């Protein structure tokens, strides 16, 4: 475990592989942590690559440098955190990989700062940049039902429920979103410790309220949010991985995200895999990264 001051955070991260290896930054989602990439990082390090896996804001040992900084979980904050980490580590260019919140951070950096990105592996939603202006439009009843937890977080009951039952809540999400993944207690507990971060609840609640336009963002990220509102295309080589058994974001027959990618692009759907794709299918994830080198 290492830490480094980057932007508004003291970022905790795992680093595996030779220091002079080509850098690979791997970003976890909600409600998971850096352990999602343990097997992926070992495989890539074995190929001579330098793997850096940070704990996102609100997770694990990562901390805000100031008590005055808003505990924002908006998409722009995640992208800014990733760019700041790359700057702090003097990484000019890297392959980025992520899913859920981490996939969003990776997509944002790839879209807005493509000169810093050699390639992108995006899991679940391939084009993982929120269109907040249209967030209020209704989806199909089936899709709306899968987002129950987001609506729950819009209420103070939801905030209180997450604060009081964070382990039980997150374990339920793991089972719901990855119904065919037979994780054991030890695997869950390794990651569950990250949810004890003192900012976890505030960051999570802000994330889900902001994406629907129900709460203001951090003014420090207003310019980035304005750029994201234009739904910029991603011009770096990209591989999208989707779990066929994903309980919250199942792959559609039609690939509606492909239009947002203008370089090499490939979508792969993995049978027997749910939402936490790098931990459920580390070999497939590692292979996708290697194919972008």
Structural domains of the chain sorted by starting position, each given as residue range(s) with its CATH number in brackets: 2-291 (3.40.50.1820)
Q: Return d(Cα 60, Cα 176) in angstroms, integer.
A: 23
Q: How far is CA 110 from the centre of its chain?
A: 13
Whether 181 contacts 246, CB under 8 Å? no
**What does R_g of the chain's alpha carbons equal in angstroms?**
17
Mean pLDDT calculated for residue range 205-224: 97
pLDDT at 97: 98
pLDDT at 270: 98
Map residue 3 onto helix, strand or coil: strand
Q: How confident is the model at residue 149 (pLDDT cuts 50, 70, 90)?
A: very high
pLDDT at 162: 98
| Other beta carbons within 10 Å of 169 | 19
Q: What's the pLDDT tens digit per position in 52-64? A: 999 999 999 999 9
C-alpha closest to that of 197 among 74, 82, 2, 30: 30
pLDDT at 233: 98
What's the whole-number average pLDDT of the chain? 98
Map residue 97 onto helix, strand or coil: strand
Structure tokens at 289: 């990264």
pLDDT at 244: 98
Structure tokens at 244: 């066929």
pLDDT at 93: 98
pLDDT at 41: 98
Q: How confident is the model at residue 10 (pLDDT cuts 50, 70, 90)?
A: very high
Question: Tokens 């795992």, residue?
Answer: 14
DSSP result, 196-242: G-TTHHHHHHHHHHHTTTSS---GGGHHHHHHHTT---B-S-EEEEE
Q: Return d(Cα 12, Cα 14) in angstroms, integer.
A: 7
Q: How confident is the model at residue 215 (pLDDT cuts 50, 70, 90)?
A: very high
Burial class (CB in 10 A: 0-12, 13-18, 19+), 212: middle
pTM across the whole model: 0.98
C-alpha closest to that of 33 among 158, 269, 179, 196: 196
Q: Return d(Cα 117, Cα 44) in angstroms, integer.
A: 17
Q: How confident is the model at residue 183 (pLDDT cuts 50, 70, 90)?
A: very high
Structure tokens at 56: 């996102």
pLDDT at 267: 98
Q: What's the pLDDT tens digit per position in 167-178? A: 999 999 999 999
The kind and range of the H/E element at 54 are strand 50-54
Q: How confident is the model at residue 189 (pLDDT cuts 50, 70, 90)?
A: very high
Question: Tokens 């249209």, residue?
Answer: 134
pLDDT at 126: 96
Whether 72 contacts 98, CB under 8 Å? no
| Measured torsion, CA atoms of residues 117, 123, 126, 131, in degrees rounded to the nearest 10 | -100
pLDDT at 276: 98
Q: How confident is the model at residue 206 (pLDDT cuts 50, 70, 90)?
A: very high
Beta partners for 54? 13
């Amino acid at each position: 475990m290492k830490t480094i001051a980057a932007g508004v955070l003291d970022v905790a991260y795992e680093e595996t592989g030779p220091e002079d290896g080509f850098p690979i930054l791997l970003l976890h989602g909600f409600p998971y942590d850096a352990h999602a990439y343990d097997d992926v990082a070992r495989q890539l390090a074995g190929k001579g690559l330098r793997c850096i896996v940070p704990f996102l804001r609100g997770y694990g040992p990562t901390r805000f440098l100031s008590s005055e900084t808003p505990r924002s979980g908006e998409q722009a904050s995640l992208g800014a955190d990733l760019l700041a980490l790359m700057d702090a580590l003097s990484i000019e260019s890297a392959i980025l990989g992520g899913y859920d919140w981490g996939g969003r951070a990776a997509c944002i950096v790839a879209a807005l700062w493509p000169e810093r990105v050699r390639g992108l592996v995006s899991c679940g939603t391939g084009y993982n940049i929120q269109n907040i202006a249209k967030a209020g439009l209704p989806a199909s009843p089936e899709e709306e039902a899968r987002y129950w937890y987001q609506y729950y977080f819009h209420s103070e009951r939801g905030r209180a429920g997450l604060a009081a039952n964070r382990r039980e809540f997150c374990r339920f999400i793991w089972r719901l979103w990855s119904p065919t993944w037979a994780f054991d207690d030890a695997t869950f507990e390794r990651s569950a410790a990250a949810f004890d971060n003192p900012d976890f609840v505030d960051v999570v609640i802000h994330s889900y309220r902001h994406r629907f336009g129900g709460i203001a963002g951090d003014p420090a990220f207003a310019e980035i949010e304005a750029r994201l509102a234009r739904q910029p295309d991603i011009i770096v080589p990209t591989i999208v991985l989707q779990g066929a058994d994903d309980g919250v974001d199942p792959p559609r027959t039609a690939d509606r995200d492909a239009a947002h990618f203008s370089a090499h692009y490939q979508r792969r759907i993995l049978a027997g895999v749910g939402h936490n794709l790098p931990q459920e299918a580390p070999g497939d994830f590692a292979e996708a990264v290697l194919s972008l080198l």
